[in-house]
Amino acid sequence: MGSSIKDRVAIVGCGCAKFGDRIDATYDDLVVEAAQAALSDAGIERDRIEACWIGTYSPGAQYGKSGTSLADPLRLYGKPITRVENYCATGTDAVRQAVFALAAGVYDVALVVGAEKMKDRPARGLALEGRHPILGRGATAPGQFALAANRYMHTFGVPRETLAKVAVKNHANGAKNPLAHMQVEVTEAQVLKAPIIAWPFGLYDCCPTTDGAAAVVLARTEVANAIRSGAPRVQGVGLAVTSGRPFHDPNFDYLGFPATRNAAAEAYDMAGIKNPAREIDFAEVHDCFTWTEITNYEDLRFCEKGRGRTLIEEGRSALTGDKPINPSGGLKSFGHPIGASGVRMVCEVAQQLRGESGARQVKRARQGLAHNVGGPGAVGCVIVLGAAS
Amino acid sequence: MGSSIKDRVAIVGCGCAKFGDRIDATYDDLVVEAAQAALSDAGIERDRIEACWIGTYSPGAQYGKSGTSLADPLRLYGKPITRVENYCATGTDAVRQAVFALAAGVYDVALVVGAEKMKDRPARGLALEGRHPILGRGATAPGQFALAANRYMHTFGVPRETLAKVAVKNHANGAKNPLAHMQVEVTEAQVLKAPIIAWPFGLYDCCPTTDGAAAVVLARTEVANAIRSGAPRVQGVGLAVTSGRPFHDPNFDYLGFPATRNAAAEAYDMAGIKNPAREIDFAEVHDCFTWTEITNYEDLRFCEKGRGRTLIEEGRSALTGDKPINPSGGLKSFGHPIGASGVRMVCEVAQQLRGESGARQVKRARQGLAHNVGGPGAVGCVIVLGAAS
């Protein structure tokens, strides 16, 4: 391994579109909404951007795939724009690529946009992705994650009530967030009584289907101060990929995701973090289902495997707890427009580190992370950010 | 702009699958064939690889998208693997991402694989991509490039005979290459008499439809010498994206591609190249159609705009000329499995720089480049390599 990237790149601007059923907006409109917000937050003009990355699972259907999915909405022509796709970790991995290019000193200022239009049903794209060529149409995300959740609950004696508390917490946070898709509190009784999607997941255990986009402007730390003061810094980035069929792996224990554990190990190593339970103050983690958040606590080493329930049951992961998780409201409130999610989470972490999250501000925000785990638990990505020193 | 990446990364291994109608091989088989060849060429084991990039336009249909398209064929689990897609520049841009990560010092050794199965027709994937949502099914690649070729030929008074000479040259080179799809020489008369696909392009003016994969192992220059001696070095990388509808742009002159010109400018700037006509000894350029190669000569600044015909008419771009272009046989002989092409071209340039191209070896090989231009001329990417000093 070579030298660390720690502190070499800063997040100088964050922008997030309104997430929701955006029947009023095209894919391109969402990209513009997020990118303009990020540029405005950074206080720079579009022509300061030297290179871009677009994280998108199913690109804008209007004009095609590739970097043009970003060039055309922004009319940003003649510059380098790369499309990255990595299942549900698409957004965080797009940020990771930009961090590498900036840390190498190739560019001073870069833009990363994550975007997805999930409510539309074009003849190509996401509508086709549910049809797994081998497992068939039954292998939906709720069905696959439910297999692991059932095993986990059986092994550690965790009841559905514990999962429901994750929904209650994240919806409470999301109710404070004007950009969330669902801005509504729910009670534990409502979560438990909701129609079952795939046992043990009821409707409120699952994140909604949503349109959205988010953007960050990154700069080399040497030039970041000239753009804005107090810009949070990238401390470490980690990515790991396992089999596209982890549920078929005889070594898979159905209790958590090796992709998250490996990605976290890489990011913590770069960041110089030995004890994440103590050194990570708060996190945006991938709560595609309520159970996923609980196993993430463990895979991210905030606690021992099987002890995740204590963080939610004792209120420690609440906004007012000692380890706030998903202060934004999480995927539970924002939905999961695939490429958009990771970039949105990086935005939330950066905003919290700047102390500008208003009613959602966590008390101690010196170091936080954004985390995705995606596909059938096959891809994990972790981005650790620290407050400006 | 920050510091240059020049000389910080080396190509320590190259591998190329047999290109062709690979009905005998799955997508995964092609990935393995290319990656094993590259690892074998580098003389290292798979576990030396710290990070990977997979360049693929339509990932392996068997197990899904994302980094798993590479993890599963190679059974390379728990490591960072990113999927890059950027139209026909997918392969070269995947190499570009790896160069950034290595130049940043994050990894010492990385693997990049480009792969595409074009002859298969799964229910999803490439078969759907021909159907442009706005322009309709008539907007095929030959049809779009023909619009520009006609304008170019009218403007500069270039006859079909000049285009045909590109096919003759590249097929002559490909006939010497055991990995090419088409290993057959053609005469100018055969090219001119072939059935017309989209005027002025006859059958032999178009590259074939092909399955293929290619791979490169890259290492930071500091560690490259411990892996092998004489490894070529990356001198510069450039990428540029224009509109996904460049043919609708009122400023488009139909005489060449701004994406190529901008990508070349960025790569030459990093490499410190002022006069590419003199400093670039040879090149693998994107000859999806015969005319494209001629306009590439100009967009890559090997000659003035409108003068590209002289390079082919005077035999200067032949294997025995002073500026050999597409010594491999080009897309004309190899076809264009989208993600595979750029990586294959980087392999050819590296092998030439090592002086190991046998019957296809160019005389002077100190500095060369690989170039893609793709989609409807919307994306250009250039990778400049230099021989070990």
Express each pLDDT in B35-65 by its tens digit.
999 999 999 999 999 999 999 998 765 556 7
pLDDT digits (tens, 9 = 90+) for A28-37: 999 999 999 9
CB B101 within 8 A of CB B110: yes
Q: Quickly tell me which residue has 């030459």 as its tokens.
A: B268
- In this prediction, residue A197 carries a pLDDT of 93
What integer best gives the mean pLDDT of chain A?
A: 93
Give the residue-averaged pLDDT of A51-71: 83
Burial of A62 (C-beta count, 10 Å sphere; 0-12/13-18/19+)? middle
How close B155 comes to chain A (CA, Å)? 24
Option in B65, B70, B245 nearest A87 (CB): B65
Burial track B181-209 (b if 16+ CB lie within 10 A, e otherwise):
bbeeebebebbbebeebbebbbebbbbbe
Determine which of A52, A82, A90, A131 to mutate to test the interface with B (most B C-beta atoms within 10 Å).
A82
Q: What is the 3-state secondary structure (H, E, C) of A211-270?
A: EEEEEEEEEEHHHHHHHCCCCCEEEEEEEEECCCCHHHCCCCCCCCCHHHHHHHHHHHHH
Cα–Cα distance between A81 and A67 in angstroms, integer? 5
Q: Name the more confident of B132 and B167.
A: B167
Cα–Cα distance between A296 and B41 in angstroms, integer? 40
- In this prediction, residue A123 carries a pLDDT of 41
Angle at B84 between CA B48 and CA B32, to 5 degrees: 45
**Residue % of chain A over a pLDDT of 70:** 93
Q: Quickly tell me which residue has 């002159």 as its tokens.
A: B253
CB B83 within 8 A of CB B69: yes
CB B148 within 8 A of CB B253: no
How close A217 comes to chain B (CA, Å)? 15
Chain A residues touching B224 at Cβ < 8 A: none
Cα–Cα distance between B223 and B244 in angstroms, integer? 40
Is A64's CB within 8 Å of B84's CB? no
How close A44 comes to chain B (CA, Å)? 16
Closest C-alpha among B273, B253, B251 to residue B264: B273
- pTM exceeds 0.90 for this model: yes
Q: Is the pLDDT of residue A133 over 80?
A: no
Chain A residues touching B124 at Cβ < 8 A: 124, 128-129, 131
B200: preceding bond cis by omega (within 30 degrees): yes
Closest C-alpha among A175, A79, A129, A105 to residue A339: A129
pLDDT digits (tens, 9 = 90+) for A269-312: 999 999 999 999 999 999 999 999 999 999 999 999 999 999 99
Q: Quickly tell me which residue has 């336009």 as its tokens.
A: B57
Instruction: Find, in chain A, the residue whose alpha carbon is nearest to that of B81.
Output: A241
CB B71 within 8 A of CB A383: no
Q: Name the more confident of A60 and A183.
A: A183
Q: Name the more confident of B248 and B51.
A: B51
**Residue % of chain B over a pLDDT of 90:** 86
- Which is catalytic among the residues A171, A181, A286, A336? A336
Structure tokens, A243: 């089999």
pLDDT digits (tens, 9 = 90+) for B339-364: 999 999 999 999 999 999 999 999 99
Count of CB atoms situated within 10 Å of the CB of A312: 24
- In this prediction, residue B48 carries a pLDDT of 97
CB B282 within 8 A of CB B328: no
- In this prediction, residue B376 carries a pLDDT of 84
Give chain B's count of helices (H) and strands (E): 14, 11
CB B39 within 8 A of CB B6: no
Give the residue-averaged pLDDT of A159-164: 98
- In this prediction, residue B131 carries a pLDDT of 46
Chain B residues touching A2 at Cβ < 8 A: 102, 104-108, 220
Instruction: Using CA atoms of B372, B374, B379, B380 in order, give the dihedral in degrees to the nearest 10.
Output: 20
CB A171 within 8 A of CB A333: yes
Give the residue-averaged pLDDT of A73-92: 96
Residue B210, C-beta contacts closer than 8 angstroms, at least 6 positions apart = B19, B20, B21, B118, B119, B181, B334, B335, B336, B337
Q: Quickly tell me which residue has 């008539």 as its tokens.
A: B138
Phi, psi of A112 (to 5 degrees): -120, 130
Integer angstrom CA distances of residue B119 from A338, B34, B124, B198:
29, 18, 13, 21
Option in A101, A131, A220 nearest B100 (CB): A101
